[in-house]
Amino acid sequence: MNAAIFLDRDGVLNRAVVREGKPYPPSSLAGLELLPGVLDAVTSLKKAGYLLVVVTNQPDVARGTTSKEVVDEINDSLKSQLNLDAIYTCFHDGADNCDCRKPKPGLLLIAANDFQIDLSKSYMIGDRWRDIDAGTRAGCRTFFVDYGYEERQPAEYNFRVASLYEASQIILQKDI
């Protein structure tokens, strides 16, 4: 069984666009900006033997405010730049009540099946309560990247950090 690092996309790998205290994805590939330390973090985690799997909600597709093509372009760019193993995307809105939209653990469970991942040896790193709840429900240890968004905060998490890079350093120290 493999161990994985499950990563939210916007706000963990790339800079989220914050409006009125809430994060949003970039509106185009041109707006994609990796956060500081991300390349070093994912390179180190990959070298340590972890699978790198992005699990991302992109409800703007269902809402009609962005296209699936734009989301796919951004995902393809991130996968290529960061040597990610996979990206799983939920394109539904909350009202769709699907199993893949975080905070439900559906995307993590699908990835675990696809890659023979031991969820108890894996981590979920996210910047919103939905990410943390999905990781917890899947049986992963969780890292909350806290940007102080003006929205609901996760009820509980294993670690609170300022960045993916900080989370990676904690994970790598635990493996030593």
Residues 119, 6: Cα–Cα separation, whole Å = 10
pLDDT at residue 28 tops 80: yes
Q: Which residues contact 43 (CB under 8 A, 6 or more apart)?
A: 83
The stretch 1-13 carries a mean pLDDT of 97
* 138-176 pLDDT, tens digit each: 999 999 999 999 999 999 999 999 999 999 999 999 754
Q: Where are the domains of the chain?
A: 4-150
* Per-residue pLDDT tens over the stretch 41-98: 999 999 999 999 999 999 999 999 999 999 999 999 999 999 999 999 999 999 999 9
Q: Using one digit for the tens of pLDDT, what is the confidence trace for 9-22?
A: 999 999 999 999 99
pLDDT at position 175, please? 53
Residue pair 106/99 in contact (Cβ under 8 Å)? The answer is: yes
pLDDT of residue 176: 40
Helical ranges in the chain per DSSP H: 38-47, 60-63, 68-82, 106-115, 129-138, 164-175
Tell me the C-alpha distance between 175 and 138, whole Å.
21
Residue-wise pLDDT for 103-128, tens only, equals 999 999 999 999 999 999 999 999 99
What are the residues facing 57 on neighbouring strands? 90
Please report, for residues 67, 76, 112, 126, the alpha-carbon distance to residue 149 in angstroms, rounded to integers and kept in the order given: 25, 27, 30, 13
Among 19, 91, 23, which Cα is nearest to 55's? Answer: 91
pLDDT confidence of residue 174: 78
pLDDT band at 39 (very low <50, low <70, confident <90, very high): very high
CATH class belonging to 4-150: alpha beta
CA atoms within 13 A on the CB side of 21: 6
Active-site residue list: 8, 10
